[in-house]
Amino acid sequence: MATFFGEVVVAPSRAGLDEEEEAREETPEDREIRREIEKKRYRQRGEIKEREIQVLWSCAEESLVCSRFIVAIGRNAAAFLSSFILDSVCWEVIGVVKLWNEWCRTSSTTNVLPTDSFCLFYRLISDPTVLLCQCSCYVAEDQQFQWLEKVFGSMQKKGLQVTILSTCPVADYKTQESTLTLVSPFLKALKTKEFQEQVCCPLLEQPNIVRDLPAA
């Protein structure tokens, strides 16, 4: 339970259950739905079937030392990073995420190049512990746990501060005011209880929530 509204909490999830437990609880209807989803998710390329998320790094470290990790999720957030942060020679591409789903098909190449993926990782040249991620592709609901597990599994988490940037339509913002009178775009924040620094903007009010990969 959250100690205050606006705190990020971890909700119970079936995503991390082992296969035996998941199979034990599945009904025939669940299995049929899962089979249909898998049929859509698979892509036949010769004899290779791709559905798993792959994270490829150009650096040789087994575990990346990271103090700050900024993740921009969605096209608008990714474009913001490109325009105001990445528009310099101070960053280098160090990794990509390869995935395939109903709305996103990334390249099958194993090279770490900006043209090969819609999800890129950058490292600040002057401070290699600062990483950015531009995730402009759609990550399906059943792929989000795998995305998190593989991306954060490559990083040392001690002392790590994670900042998520994402956007949503003003029409989805819940307020007593008319959304027609709101000055947009505007910025709101959520934070965990571990975050002790000053927040740069007002906290998100009830009953608004964050969904999908930013919430995960």
Highest mean predicted confidence (pLDDT) among 6-10, 30-34, 170-174: 170-174
What are the DSSP E strand ranges found in 53-212?
54-57, 68-73, 91-98, 119-124, 130-135, 161-165
Over the stretch 58-100, which tens digit does the pLDDT of each residue have? 876 668 889 999 999 988 898 888 888 888 778 998 988 887 7
Nearest to 188 by CA among 197, 9, 3, 173: 173
- According to DSSP H, which parts of the chain are helical? 19-25, 28-41, 75-84, 144-152, 212-215
pTM given for the model = 0.70
Over the stretch 168-192, which tens digit does the pLDDT of each residue have? 888 888 888 777 777 878 889 999 8
Asked if the model's pLDDT at residue 162 lies above 90, the reply is yes
Asked if the model's pLDDT at residue 109 lies above 60, the reply is no
Q: Which residues on adjacent β-strands are paired with residue 72? A: 134, 165
Asked if the model's pLDDT at residue 165 lies above 80, the reply is yes
Long-range contacts of 3-6 (CB under 8 A, 24+ apart): 3/193, 5/203, 5/205, 5/206, 6/189, 6/190, 6/191, 6/203, 6/204
Mean pLDDT of the chain, nearest integer: 78
The model's confidence at residue 46, banded by pLDDT at 50, 70 and 90, is very low
Exposed / middle / buried, residue 195 (Cβ in 10 Å: 0-12, 13-18, 19+): middle
Question: What confidence score (pLDDT) does residue 115 get?
Answer: 46
Structure tokens, 61: 């470290």
Question: What confidence score (pLDDT) does residue 10 get?
Answer: 61
Prior bond to 207 cis, omega within 30?
Answer: yes
- Mean pLDDT across the stretch 125-131? 92
Structure tokens, 175: 């307020």
Task: Classify 106 as helix, strand or coil.
Answer: coil
Asked if the model's pLDDT at residue 130 lies above 90, the reply is yes
Question: What confidence score (pLDDT) does residue 29 get?
Answer: 78
Question: What confidence score (pLDDT) does residue 1 get?
Answer: 52
